[in-house]
Amino acid sequence: MAKEKTNLLQGTLVMLILRTLTSGPLHGYEIAQRIQQSSDDVLRVEEGSLYPALYRMEGQGWIEAEWGASENNRRAKYYSLTRAGRKQLAVETSNWERLREAIARVLQTA
């Protein structure tokens, strides 16, 4: 079940992971790489800290993990988005938009 009330800052980071996984299953290293590359190297995840977040998100049922063979034929853990994860992505995106609009309004009026 998608959470309605979330911490916005943390939610933004979770949103990036969820959004990155919409392109298909990825292992942790690829997720960190994709976030960095997609943001034109503006955003950078401290790579180790990604894993507790992935485990937590897996526990929430937003993503699921599966062991598979990587491109260099090593065993790797791939994460993919669940239906609950897609719902959560919609919630997080909506929260992000509200935050962005609110901040823009404050900056325009201040």
Residues that bind another protein (CB under 8 A): 1, 7, 10, 12-13, 15-16, 19, 22-23, 25, 27-29, 38-53, 55-56, 58-59, 61, 64-70, 72, 74-78, 84, 93, 96, 100
Report the alpha-carbon distance of residue 26 to residue 99 in Å, rounded: 28
Report the alpha-carbon distance of residue 55 to residue 26 in Å, rounded: 14
Report the alpha-carbon distance of residue 3 to residue 44 in Å, rounded: 26
Nearest distance, CB of residue 8 and another protein, angstroms: 13
Nearer to another protein, 3 or 109 (CB): 3
Nearest distance, CB of residue 61 and another protein, angstroms: 6
Nearest distance, CB of residue 49 and another protein, angstroms: 5
Neighbours of 38 (CB within 10 A): 14
Nearer to another protein, 1 or 110 (CB): 1
Q: At residue 44, what are phi and psi to the nearest 5 degrees?
A: -140, 125
